[in-house]
Amino acid sequence: MNIKIKTILLLLLGTIFWGMTFVFIKDAVSLISVTNFLAYRFLVAALVLVFIFFKRLKKFNSDTLKYGAILAIPLMISFFAQTIGLQYTSASKGAFITGLSVVIVPIILSVMQRRLPGFNILIAIVLATMGLALLTLGNGLSLNIGDAWVLFSAIFFASYIIMVTRYSGKSDAILLSITQFFIFGFLCFLYSGVKGELYFPKEFKVWQAIIFTALFATAFMYTVQNYYQKYISEITTSIIFSFEPLFAAITAYFYLNEALSEKIVIGGLLIFAGILFAEIKLKMNMQSVKKLFAFINK
Least confident of 203-207, 227-231, 291-295: 291-295
> Is 277's pLDDT higher than 80?
no
Mean pLDDT, rounded, for 3-12? 91
Give me the pLDDT at residue 126, please: 83
Give me the pLDDT at residue 219, please: 94
Domain boundaries of the chain, sorted by first residue: 3-297
User: Which residue has better confidence, 195 or 26?
Assistant: 195
Least confident of 137-141, 175-179, 227-231: 137-141
pLDDT class of 286 with cuts at 50, 70, 90: very low
CA nearest neighbour of 198 among 44, 56, 32, 41: 32
CA distance 38 to 205: 15
Give me the pLDDT at residue 285, please: 45
Mean pLDDT, rounded, for 275-279? 72
CA distance 12 to 6: 10
pLDDT class of 18 with cuts at 50, 70, 90: confident
Mean pLDDT, rounded, for 138-146? 65
pLDDT tens across 224-259, in order?
998 898 888 888 888 888 887 777 777 777 766 666
Give me the pLDDT at residue 122, please: 79
pLDDT class of 266 with cuts at 50, 70, 90: confident
Mean pLDDT, rounded, for 189-209? 90
Mean pLDDT, rounded, for 57-72? 92
Mean pLDDT, rounded, for 130-150? 72
Question: Which residues have CB under 8 Å from 247's CB, separation 6+?
Answer: 15, 16, 18, 19, 20
> Is 4's pLDDT higher than 50?
yes
> Is 52's pLDDT higher than 80?
yes
CA distance 150 to 152: 5
CA distance 47 to 106: 35
> Is 296's pLDDT higher than 60?
no
